[in-house]
Amino acid sequence: MNHQGKCRNLHGHSVKASISIQQKHLNEDGMVVDFADVRDCVEDFVDKHLDHNFLLHENDPIIPALTANKERFLAIKEHPTAEVISKMIYQHIKKAGFNVSQVVLWETSSASACYQED
């Protein structure tokens, strides 16, 4: 809401996420994890919370207008930056039981944000 650059205006993104899962040992199939399982987990989260949705800070003054017009939106405690969205995806994957090491969210081919925990 308080950003002074051009991103202060309403806008959307088409992003790509790079998700890293780590393990000390390979499973019985010789893999860290089946990529399809990670994909399904992420797609479920994206479809439910991010895709074709309007993400905004919970104190954004536009919320009453969106509610009155029955528009879909997700109000979150932090500003919906690429960094915060990568953190949201990371936390979802972690909660699902994957040993995620990082999530990188690419807004463009040359601009990305990475979230990881110690």
pLDDT-derived band of residue 97, with 50, 70 and 90 as boundaries?
very high
User: CA-to-CA distance for 115 and 104, rounded, in angstroms?
Assistant: 6
Q: Which of 2-6, 43-47, 65-69, 85-89 has the lowest mean pLDDT?
A: 2-6
pLDDT score for 87:
97
Domain ranges of the chain: 6-115
pLDDT-derived band of residue 5, with 50, 70 and 90 as boundaries?
confident
- Secondary-structure class of domain 6-115 per CATH: alpha beta
pLDDT score for 104:
97
pLDDT digits (tens, 9 = 90+) for 21-80: 999 999 999 999 999 999 999 999 999 999 989 999 999 999 999 999 999 999 999 999
